[in-house]
Amino acid sequence: MRVVGIFLISAFVLLSGSPAWAKDKNSKPADPQAMMEAYQKLATPGEPHKLFATLAGSWTTKTKSWMEPGKPPVESTGSAEMKMLLGGRFLQQEFSGEMMGQPFNGYGIDGYDNLRKKYVTAWIDTMGTGLFIMEGTASPDGKTITMKGQHAELGGGQMTHRAVWKIIDENTQTFDMYGSHHGQKEMKMMEITYQRKP
């Protein structure tokens, strides 16, 4: 409760000076009760979060990775454990498999930001020490989520990414990743098919 209190106080201080709540010095002061109710509404899981909750459980994975254009993909298998966090607000994925013939482990956090109306994801894994972040939007039914992001490349510059996550049903989902080096033509880099374990 102490953390919630600190958050609400901070939100009050920030919003008191926000143009959304006070247009100028002659405006009425922001109503603390209205602000608290607005933040509580924004903090309440909605339909996107309920859809994420249907994915909780154990999954097997089949991955195809393309290292070079025109070359056949490297294929591997793995597993993923998914669970909801923080009262149904975020979906956590713990992934185990192989990448380029080496053991590979990663953690992802997926969410839907009610304030910004954006899907967001953060990913960390054993292939690096950085935090990879993407954001995007979904199809009207919420089952095809397209996100974009970028990360620094060796030698300078940024590599841009586009991911398409399809929730086919409660037992099947796919995740396709595309990338572009230094503004070159986008290529498919990875394809993961998830099947729920019996």
Fold assignment, 47-196:
Lipocalin (2.40.128)
Q: Does 193 have pLDDT greater than 60? A: yes
pLDDT on residue 152:
86
Q: List CB contacts of 88: < 8 A, sequence separation 6 or more.
A: 45, 49, 50, 52, 53
pLDDT, tens digit, for every residue of 154-180? 888 888 999 999 999 999 999 999 999
- pTM for this structure? 0.82
Backbone angles phi, psi at 94, to 5 degrees: -115, 110
Question: How confident is the prediction for the chain on average, in pLDDT?
Answer: 87
Please say whether the beta carbons of 55 and 173 come within 8 A: yes
107 has a pLDDT exceeding 60:
yes
Instruction: Domain ranges for the chain, please list them.
Output: 2-42, 47-196
pLDDT of 25: 55
Q: What is the pLDDT of residues 34-78, one digit of tens each?
A: 888 888 999 999 999 999 999 999 999 999 999 887 889 999 999
Lowest mean pLDDT among 20-29, 60-69, 134-143, 164-173: 20-29
Q: 18: pLDDT confidence band, cut at 50, 70 and 90?
A: very low
Of 1, 25, 33, the closest CA to residue 11 belongs to 33
68: its two tokens: 């070079």
